[in-house]
Every structure is written in C-alpha cells, then in structure tokens.
Chains A and B, each alone.
Chain A
Amino acid sequence: MCEFCEKHGHGNRWYLNPDNYSDEMMADRDRQKLVEEICGYGIDYYINFSSKVTGLAGWPALGTAIKAAIKRLAPKQHGGQIVSLEDSLEIISIANNFVLLPCACKRLVVNKEELCCLNFGPIRDMQRSLLPDGPMEEITLAEAREYLVGKDAEGRIHQVLYAKAPMPVCVCNCDLQWCTSFKQRFPHNIPEAVFKGHEVIVVSEELCDGCGGDAPCVERCGFGALAYDEETGKVMVDHALCFGCGLCRVACARDAIALLSRSLIPVASGNW
C-alpha cells in the first residue's frame, strides 16, 4: 500500500475513498489557493517552476537535500499517480462536475491544443471564473466513460492528479512525448513527480506466443518494461520498470496480459 493510501485511504486506495472528493476538502485555504493556481494560465507558471526545481535535483552537492525537500513538499502540491483504465472509471463514478480542459503539458511542450485533461470537482467553476471564454467542454458521466475508454485504446496513459493530497481533481490522458510529469521524474528519479500505479502487469506463459516475434505490446510500452525473449519466444516483463498503466493489454491479441497487485511481486513491491 502506498503512503497516500495509508494516510488517506481508509483501507482502500486513496483515490477511491469518497471522503476525499467531498466539498469539505475545499475548506482548506492552501488547497483553495492551489486550485486557483492550477487553473487558467496559472498552470503554465506552475509547470515552469516545478520543472526548474526538479531539475535542480541533479546538482552534485545539493541534489540529495533538494530531493528530500521535494519529498516533503510534494504532497502539498499538484502531483499524481498512474492508474489503470478500471481504476480511472471508478474514479469518475465517484466524482462530479466533469469538464474537458486543454492539456497544459501538450500546449507548452509541443504547442498543440487538445482537450484531453478530464477535470472534475472544484476545477470547473474555478476555470469558468478565470477563463470564461477559454476552451472547455462540459461532459456527462457517460460521455466521460466513453472518452476514457477511447483514449485508452489510442494508447494514452491515465494519471490521477491531486490538488494537495488527497483530493483528486483530474484524470489526465498523457503521452510520454509531452507529459511534464514523466519528464520531471526520469532524469533524476524523483518518484514524487508521478507515482507508479498500484498494479504491475504479468504475462501468462501459457497464452503468450510472442506474436511470432512481432510482439506489439513491446512497442506499446513507453517505459521499456517489456522485451521479447528469442529463446523462449515469449514476452518477458521487467517489473522494476513497469508503471502499471495496463496499456499493453490493449495491444495483446491473445489476452495474455493481466494486472496484478504490486505488493505481490517482490521486485515491484514498495517501488513507487
């Protein structure tokens, strides 16, 4: 179980605890300020600042101290965790006030606008007051479900983002090319930038036939966790690298890939 679940999960995963979605969460002044900061064009400054800070973690002398400071401060900020499609569907069944907003990462990194950030809760009203004419699309729960399933098939990674843990405010549909969370995590290995999901994948040895060496799942994985083993003719998983997004399942023609709780695999257990 991850640190957030222990503190805020009440025996469940933190993002599946309905208490974390309640209106009372917005009584917190720091959270109110943060929500204002991540709406409108505020998120641009936010990404600029946080990527500067995480970049400093590479300094030889102060890197360790900066990493420790990030670990301490990150739960009070805007961050996230990878979720599978099943979990993201459960998240939206708890949340309300759905709105699709343009992904700030995509806008800032590849200069393209796409409404692919599924926000909920207090974000809609805040966005309305800050950018009344800005691009946004209000959708219903059924549309949101359909949207997530469609994006999953396209190969987008789902990430649940909190505004000051443990209040989830958005499920984003990322791509590794522009997602600034991953860009902050990988260079200096900062898990607080984006936590790995609660599950890892397992490949059934009986069902997998490596698709005759083609193995489309290997290509689908953005983290390099899958590899085709020529000796056995099957696909092997490196559980230390798996983020548990579950996207490889879509590419698998034989239903040989399934998600399994991270705590059951020794290499992956506790590796957030």
Chain B
Amino acid sequence: MTDFKVSAKACDTRACGFKCQAVCPTGVFLAAPRKKLADYGIEPEYLISPRFTYFCNGCMECVTICPEHAITIKGHKTT
C-alpha cells in the first residue's frame, strides 16, 4: 500500500476554476471557504484543500493539470 501526501500551495482557484477537482477520480480535494462570513446567504471565497488524502490513488492527474504547479504528491511505501 502506498500513502500519498498532497499539498496545494500557491493555488489560485479563481484563475483555473477548480480543474483538479474535475480530474480527481476519488474526490480528494475540498473547496474550503476562506473565512467565515456572518451571513450564510453570501457566497464565500474558496481555497483548494487536499482534505481527503486517504482516498488518493496516486494517479497524478491533478499534478499535470494544475496551471500554477501548486500540487505536489509525495508517496512513500507503508507495509
């Protein structure tokens, strides 16, 4: 079994429109609202957060598609 660590720094969601989410077959990325607004009727700003890395299968699609080269995946073998 291989364990992956996905990190998304220097991510600009407004420029690319969540391309990594569209290609991820297992749904690793969560669009996390940036900061809490008092009014739930206003759409917040989102940042990509690789929250569910447990499900990552290491297909590397997100790394190739990211225009900002913001995503890195580190895999290391666990028994």
Contact = CB atoms under 8 A, between A and B. Distances in A.
B33 interface: yes
B36 A111 contact: no
Interface string B2-40: 000000000000000110011011110111110011001
A55 B44 CA distance: 23
Interface stretch (B48-56, B58-66, B70-78): B48-56
B1 interface: no
Contacts of B22: 110-111
B36 A45 contact: yes
A51 interface: yes
A37 B33 CA distance: 14
Contact of B30 (A109, A131, A177, A186): A109
A180 B44 contact: no
Contacts of B25: 177
A42 B29 contact: no
B21 to A, nearest CB: 5
Contact of B40 (A41, A111, A183, A187): A41
A51 B51 contact: yes
A131 B27 contact: no
Could you tell me the dominant secondary structure of chain B's interface residues? loop
A3 B18 CA distance: 40
A110 B21 CA distance: 5
Contact of B26 (A37, A45, A111, A177): A177
With a 10 A CB-CB cut-off, give which of A109, A131, A183 has the most chain B CB atoms.
Answer: A109
Given A51-B51, A186-B54, A108 B41 contact: no
Given A183-B52, A187-B54, A109 B40 contact: no
B29 A40 contact: no
A51 B52 contact: yes
Interface string A32-60: 00001101111011011001100100000
A41 B18 contact: no
Interface string A123-160: 00000001100000000000000000000000000000
Nearest to B33: A44
A272 interface: no
B31 A111 contact: yes
Nearest to A47: B30
Contacts of A44: 31, 33, 44, 46
Contacts of B44: 41, 44-45
Contacts of A39: 40
A42 B27 contact: no
29 contacts: A37-B40, A41-B33, A41-B37, A41-B42, A42-B40, A44-B31, A45-B36, A47-B30, A48-B30, A48-B32, A48-B33, A51-B30, A51-B52, A52-B51, A55-B51, A107-B31, A108-B32, A109-B27, A109-B29, A109-B52, A111-B17, A111-B18, A177-B26, A180-B30, A183-B27, A183-B55, A186-B55, A187-B52, A187-B54
Interface of B: 17-18, 21-22, 24-27, 29-33, 36-37, 40-44, 46, 49, 51-52, 54-55
Given A37-B40, A45-B44, 8 more contacts: A42-B40, A44-B33, A109-B52, A111-B17, A131-B41, A183-B52, A183-B54, A186-B54
